[in-house]
Amino acid sequence: MRYKIIKEGIFLSRPNRFVAFVLIDGKEEKVHVKNTGRCRELLAAGARVILEEGQNPNRKTKYSLIAVWKGELLVNMDSQAPNKVAEEALLQGKIREIGEVSFVKREARFGQSRLDFYLESGDTKAFLEVKGVTLEQEGICYFPDAPTSRGNKHMEELVEAVKNGYEAYVLFIIQMEGMHTFRTNRVMDPLFSEGVKKAKEAGVHILAYDCKVTPDSLVIGKKIPFIEVEYV
């Protein structure tokens, strides 16, 4: 996926999860943050950030914050981007565990939830849920960065999908490049980690892919090993 008009700025502050103040061309601007997660390890005062200029003249803020430099690592933190990247990858057959798909439907209802994708590939019918990953520590990336009861509910629904004869996948889109391992964040949300563990045991496929990130684009990259957390 590609952004149309981008701008670089310096992050100043984030008074709430929806807005931030950024220095752009020497002027302090109020911008929309396209990620309601905590992102505390990313949005530090003085960080270089990438913004997308909006095309709607009626919107309240001119820019949206979409990415941040963490040292030399560029991290996309646009929470809408992972689903777009996943859809492009599915249609292009880039996720080899799924292969070429003949039909893709977004926001597909199953049980009491809406899952991100319903897929058909040959005779295979499947559901896929996408999670964006922005938390990184020393080359290991983690999800989530905040408790997610909704995420655990999705795991339960995918298990039910398997019981009903569907294939089921969780695709963690790592919104950066160069990571060597993906793990669930047991410290932040032990219930979600346990939910992923149970889902895998039930036959849900757990996939993690990194992304090639530039200031104006995000494209799926290579598969990253998922290392399960040991429970003691």
Give the pLDDT confidence of 172-205 residue by residue, as tens digits: 999 999 999 999 999 999 999 999 999 999 999 9
Q: How confident is the model at residue 230 (pLDDT cuts 50, 70, 90)?
A: low
Instruction: Please indicate, yes or no, if residue 229 is contained in any of the structural domains.
Output: no
Instruction: Please indicate, yes or no, if residue 152 is contained in any of the structural domains.
Output: yes
CATH number of residue 53's parent domain: 2.40.50.580
Both 68 and 86 in one domain: the answer is: no
Residue 34: its pLDDT value, please? 93
Instruction: Please indicate, yes or no, if residue 231 is contained in any of the structural domains.
Output: no
Most confident residue range from 52-66, 147-161, 169-183: 169-183
Q: How confident is the prediction for the chain on average, in pLDDT?
A: 94
CA dist 169 and 23 (Å) reads: 41
pLDDT above 70 covers a percentage of the chain that reads 98
Structural domains in the chain (count): 2
The residue ranking higher by pLDDT, 53 or 111, is 53
Instruction: Please indicate, yes or no, if residue 27 is contained in any of the structural domains.
Output: yes
Nearest to 197 by CA among 188, 209, 186: 186
Which residue range(s) make up the domain with 53? 6-76
160-165's contacts with Cβ under 8 Å and 24+ in sequence apart are: 160/110, 160/111, 161/110, 161/111, 161/115, 161/126, 161/127, 162/202, 162/203, 162/204, 163/202, 165/125
Both 72 and 160 in one domain: the answer is: no
Instruction: Please indicate, yes or no, if residue 232 is contained in any of the structural domains.
Output: no
Both 150 and 35 in one domain: the answer is: no
Angle 149-163/190-201 helices, nearest 10 degrees?
A: 10
Per-residue pLDDT, averaged over 11-32, amounts to 96
Per-residue pLDDT, averaged over 6-23, amounts to 96
CA dist 213 and 227 (Å) reads: 23
Model confidence at 83: pLDDT above 60 = yes
CATH number of residue 103's parent domain: 3.40.1350.60
Model confidence at 228: pLDDT above 90 = no
Per-residue pLDDT, averaged over 61-90, amounts to 97
